[in-house]
């Protein structure tokens, strides 16, 4: 189903593609660019909903394929995503670096905000890393659910803490208790 999505921050409106999943419907906000179709934002089920109105536009094949990959991912399958589809250039330099570092964390692993900050050459900037991930316009494709606090606590997530927990469990991450992961498989040591 096609939608027109009004995106925050003064950016141009995006076309939208609704994707039904086991978690609820998510929306891929996309645009036609000179270089082809690009993803401007992904809206998770349960996150603050964008203003959406139905249009008659059919989504291009690249967006339909991304939707199918997101459905498979949310069904627990191991999938890869094409980061070239993302409008990462709209992110500031630090956020872009954080998002690319987060994208490198493999399925079944986590990292802490502090370890990511140290990996990026900004030790002590764990809170800034967390803030950059909180504004991730491409959740799931950039798997920000794989970042946790230094004690293994889940921290926040755009789709809610329960969604973050379910995503990590789907990926095989071990838990110490309901809200803390085991820190046995930490990326960026």
Q: What angle is formed at CA 95 by the lines to CA 50 and CA 59, rounded to 5 degrees?
A: 40
Which bin fits 169, alpha (ψ -120 to 50), beta or left (φ > 0)?
Answer: alpha
Which residues, including other chains, have CB under 8 Å from residue 161's CB and lie 6 or more apart? 154, 179
| Distance from chain centroid for Cα 136 | 6
> What are the residue numbers of the active site?
144
Strands 51-54 and 2-6: antiparallel
């Amino acid at each position: 189903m096609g939608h027109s999505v009004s995106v925050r921050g003064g950016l141009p409106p995006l076309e939208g593609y609704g994707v039904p999943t086991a978690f609820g419907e998510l929306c891929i906000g996309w645009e036609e660019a000179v270089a082809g179709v690009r993803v401007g934002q992904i809206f998770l089920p349960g996150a603050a909903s964008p203003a959406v109105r139905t249009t008659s536009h059919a989504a291009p094949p690249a967006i339909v394929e991304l939707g199918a990959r997101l459905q498979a991912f949310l069904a627990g399958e191991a999938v890869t995503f094409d980061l070239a589809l993302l409008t990462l250039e709209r992110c500031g330099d630090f956020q872009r670096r954080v998002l690319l570092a987060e994208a490198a964390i493999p399925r079944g692993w986590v990292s802490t905000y502090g370890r990511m900050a140290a990996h990026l050459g900004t030790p002590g900037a764990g809170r800034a890393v967390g803030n950059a991930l909180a504004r991730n316009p491409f959740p799931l494709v950039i798997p920000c659910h794989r970042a946790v606090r230094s004690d293994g606590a889940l921290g926040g997530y755009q789709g809610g803490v329960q969604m973050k927990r379910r995503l990590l469990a789907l990926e095989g991450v071990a838990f110490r208790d309901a809200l803390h992961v085991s820190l046995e498989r930490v990326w960026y040591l």
